[in-house]
Structure 1
Amino acid sequence: MRIKKVFNQNAVLIVDGPLEKVAIGKGIGFNKKKNDLVFERDIEQMFVMENEQENFQQLLAQIDEAYFFASERIIEYAEHGLKEKLNEHIHVALADHIAFAMDRLKNGIIVQNKLRKEIEVLYSEEFLIAEWAIEYLSSQFSVTFTLDEAAYISIHIHGARTNKHGNSNSIREITMVSEMARVVGEELDLDFNKADMSLSYSRLVTHLRFVLERFYTNKYHTMDQQVLAIIKKQYDSSYQIALKVATMMKQDFSVILPDDELGYITIHIERLSGLRNQ
């Protein structure tokens, strides 16, 4: 394999058959130039990067390489745990995030993630990996990474999964679920932050996430209209809350939920309403 471009002493672009790949290794680019040979024994990690080469090179010039290598270790761990390759953009995005987080934490600036609870429930696979990541980062750099940081890392991992939405859509999805849950909690006067509400909250946000997935795929639940009429009448208070959820979603996110879907949301709200008097 021959070098096409040297990014820095630890990262080079190589030609491997018909593909161009980024090869990572300690000292792999030291005193090297275009067309020099690279041996497999010197490569610690290799990946294809078709669209992020320029951003990748700029990033390496701006951050401590230790953050990049830590990011690559986390990506390797994530891909092994998820048993899938992550999108190439995470090699730039995660390293950049870690570098930025390190600057903040060193200066005593801790940014709370208000969507942490939702992220932990909705992206449970990614959050478990992110929990490992913050322990690893804390150990590597002797700086305490919080669970709020784990939530941010979870979003990066989720957004890089090949069959998932990007980061911006992931954040939008979580925000919508959070807002729907907020409306339900306020209307029922339930404090979801209490420890004994954890399971109930998890069930609620999981259900609401599925509502959004059905919205994205246009594959809504259907309900017998006679059953729906009974639900509306028997659970009127819960149905009114479901209507408020639907109104908020239309006004704030331009998401229109059909009546059948509101019937299922009503059932879930009714289940939660029994917790008010416990």
Structure 2
Amino acid sequence: MIGRLVDLRPRMHAMRRRRTPLPKGRTVKVVKRINNNAVMCTDSKGRSVVAFGKGIAFAIDKETGDLPLAAIERTFYNVDEHYLALLEELSPRVLAVSAEIIQAADLELPYELSHNAVLALADHITFALQRAKRGITVQMPLAYDVAQMYPIEYKVGVFALRRIFDGLNVELAESEGVGIAMCLLNARLAPENEAETDAEAREDERLIGAIIARIEKTYGIEVDRHGFEFARFATHIHYLFGRIRTGEPMNTDGAELYGTVRGEMGRSAEVLDYACVLIEEHFGCQISDSEKLYVLMHIHRISHPRV
């Protein structure tokens, strides 16, 4: 929740203050210098790790190639080659803010993020800062949908805007918060059982295809599967399926409006009934009136593209 996320800031500051100092005299072997603030090292277990710290390269012993642990502020394991090159361009301040945002996200999100999430977000924030400097505002046509379908990611995005303002003294447009939410979604770590995930994705597409086919048959139209309204509909349905699978509580906002709106939607309500039977039989669940309301609105938009 927004309030809860905002409260994370003093908690994270306290965590930094309580951090146990690294033992003096201990070192790691530097394999490659990336720039003044980042180096590739080998840890005590022989694993490759990127060490980051302000001016860290100047702390390397020129004779032995050893780096004192005390010079390291952050470490990153399993970094993709793409992000190794990116480290040369990232500001230490942006990276620090990005790390705090990901730390907050880890406490809120019900899934794991990629090892490269901090670097990917730092790259995203860097471009957002450049846009702000040039006075460029990015339009996010799916902003409402992201806020409705991915509320946790969206609220982390709102928190991120505040953290960026506090840490970098730059006020980004609200739309950038949506971009950060989408960045988190893209950084979501793939489930271990990819075969099961692929099967679920195919089944989701089958159900969506059946609903679209019923819309086309009912209204005698051909739905543009590359159009904006179809994208909004498919995204909403995918998220609905995901929440059903994880047991996340159904949305209850606007349930009192369902009966009234349904009475005004004509044949779209018939398509909704068909869709609900498909979904409820497949998942063995009951869809709330609030969820029905949102699906109904999407069905109506697709079937009335000029409305």
Q: Which amino acid aligns with 1:153?
A: I
Q: Distance in 1 between matches of 2:278 and 2:158?
A: 38
Q: Who is 2:302 aligned against?
A: none
Following the alignment from structure 1 to structure 2, what is the Cα–Cα distance between the partners of residues 42 and 27? 9
CA contact (8 A) 1:118 1:205 kept: no
Please give the secondary structure, in 2, of the residue aligned with 1:62: coil
What's the TM-score, normalizing by structure 1? 0.59
CA drift of 1:62 comes to 3.3
1:39 aligns with 2:68: yes
Q: Give the distance between the partners of 1:84 and 1:25, measured in 2 at CA.
A: 28
Task: Specify the alignment match of 1:139 in structure 2.
Answer: 166
User: Please, which of 83, 87, 90 is the counterpart of residue 56 of structure 1?
Assistant: 83
Change (3 A) 1:265 1:206: farther
Write the deviation string for residues 126-153 of structure 1: whole angstroms up to 9, x where unpaired: 2222211111112333321122111111
1:135, 1:64 → 2: CA distance?
A: 18
Partner of 2:186: 159
Code of the aligned partner of 1:38: L
* Aligned twin of 2:141: 114
Q: Percent identity?
A: 27
In the alignment, does 2:170 pair up with 1:129?
no
Taking a change above 3 Å as real, the CA distance of residues 122 and 211 of structure 1, as seen in their structure-2 partners, is: closer
- Tell me which of 58, 82, 91 is aligned to 1:30: 58
Alpha-carbon distance, 1:10 to partner: 1.6
* Structure 2, gaps ≥5 residues long: 1-27, 195-200, 220-232, 247-264, 298-307
CA 1:139–1:128: 2 relative to 1, 3 Å: same
Flag the 1:113–1:35 CA change in 2: closer, same or farther, 3 A.
Answer: farther
Q: CA deviation at 1:102?
A: 0.8
Residue in structure 2 matched with residue 104 of structure 1 by the alignment: 131
The 1:83/1:238 distance shift into structure 2, 3 A limit, reads closer
Task: Note if 1:242 corresponds to 2:272.
Answer: yes
- Distance in 1 separating the partners of 2:63 and 2:244: 51
Deviations 1:189-212 (A, max 9, x none): xxxxxxxxxxxxxxx999734544
In structure 2, do the counterparts of structure 1 residues 162 and 29 end up closer, same or farther at CA, with 3 Å as the change threshold?
A: same
Range moving further from structure 2, 40-49 or 14-23:
40-49
Q: Distance in 1 between matches of 2:175 and 2:126?
A: 16
Distance in 2 between the 1:131 and 1:71 partners? Answer: 13
Structure 1: gaps (5+ residues): 188-203, 218-234, 247-256, 274-278
1:261 aligns with 2:284: no
